[in-house]
């Protein structure tokens, strides 16, 4: 990060360090991993008051306002589920939803969902996202860098995005509580990664548009169908014209629900 953290704390198994500002917490975490001996940064969380060049899936920008939004990255180098890697995505997505609901109960229920593969949706609009960047040494999964961005009361970065709180709310205490809740709920869900089918069932119940007709884009061409499931490889499985087609993350772009 270029300077010592403003503070560090040790909730549960985690080391949580805070800085005033950085370009991207994921980029900072990846630099730290390259500089550290293998496995020494396990259960380390980086959070900042302001992120100037946050990024999402496929390097799309995602900015946060100082003191108003959550920008956080977790580093894991141990206990990674190599037999079913997507179990980590399931655990993280469920943990984040549950942490938000525990911290801000009024935004919970069916209105708070995850949209495949990594968006946090509230009332049908994007309120945050998750970016997991994995490193492998041959067949061994060596590290996972998990970026989490949640819009609380800052200005939404996109016209179709939203925030979870009113603009006049200053969520300093809520931000601190949300950070701790994210670490706690993700750790609890990670303890269940040995049963990925159970996590996947819970994930489907929180999946935006599950069982509904939708539109995607594949190589510039529209794909229409019903979202049937996400499989244990993390693929989107769509039923169209009586046939099932499955797509990997990044292979198709979401265009929206059918009217």
Spell out the per-residue pLDDT of the chain, length 259, in tens: 668 899 999 999 999 999 999 989 999 999 999 998 877 899 999 999 988 876 665 556 666 778 889 999 999 999 998 889 999 999 999 999 999 999 999 887 778 999 999 999 999 999 999 999 999 988 889 999 999 999 999 888 788 899 999 888 877 889 999 999 999 999 999 999 999 999 999 999 999 999 999 999 999 999 999 999 999 999 999 999 889 999 999 899 999 999 8
The dihedral sign for the CA sequence 227, 156, 11, 102: negative
State the Cα–Cα distance between residues 228 and 23, nearest whole angstrom. Answer: 38
Non-local CB neighbours of 28 within 8 Å, separated by 6+ positions: 1, 22, 46, 73
What pLDDT, on the 0 to 100 scale, is given for residue 140? 87
What pLDDT, on the 0 to 100 scale, is given for residue 59? 59
Q: What domains are defined for the chain? A: 7-205 (3.30.930.10), 213-257 (2.30.30)
Cα-to-chain-centroid distance, residue 36 = 24
What pLDDT, on the 0 to 100 scale, is given for residue 36? 87
Which of these, 250, 247, 216, 255, lies nearest to 230 by C-alpha position?
A: 247
Which of these, 118, 136, 140, lies nearest to 33 by C-alpha position?
A: 136
Non-local CB neighbours of 10 within 8 Å, separated by 6+ positions: 16
Q: Is the peptide bond before 117 cis (omega within 30 degrees of 0)?
A: yes
């Amino acid at each position: 990060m270029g300077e010592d953290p403003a503070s560090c704390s040790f909730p549960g198994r985690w080391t949580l360090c805070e800085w005033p500002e950085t370009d991207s917490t994921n980029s900072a975490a990846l630099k730290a991993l390259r500089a550290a001996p293998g496995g020494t940064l396990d259960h380390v969380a980086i959070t900042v008051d302001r992120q100037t060049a946050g990024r999402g899936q496929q390097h799309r920008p995602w900015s946060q306002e100082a003191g108003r939004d959550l920008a956080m990255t977790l580093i894991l180098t141990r206990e990674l589920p190599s037999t079913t890697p997507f179990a980590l995505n399931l655990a993280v997505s469920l943990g984040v939803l549950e942490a938000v609901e525990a911290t801000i109960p009024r935004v919970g229920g069916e209105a708070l969902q995850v949209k495949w593969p990594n968006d946090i949706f509230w009332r049908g609009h994007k309120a945050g996202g998750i970016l997991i960047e994995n490193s492998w040494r041959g067949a061994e999964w060596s590290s996972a860098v998990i970026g989490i961005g949640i819009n609380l009361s800052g200005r939404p970065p996109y016209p179709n995005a939203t925030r979870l709180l009113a603009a006049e709310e200053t969520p300093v205490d809520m931000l601190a509580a949300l950070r701790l809740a994210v670490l706690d709920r993700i750790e609890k869900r990670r303890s269940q990664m040995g049963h990925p089918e159970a996590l996947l069932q819970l994930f489907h119940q929180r999946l935006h548009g599950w069982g509904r007709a939708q539109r995607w884009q594949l190589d510039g061409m529209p794909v229409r169908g019903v979202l049937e499931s996400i499989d244990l490889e993390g693929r989107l499985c769509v039923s169209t014209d009586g046939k099932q087609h499955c797509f990997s993350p990044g292979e198709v772009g979401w265009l929206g629900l059918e009217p």
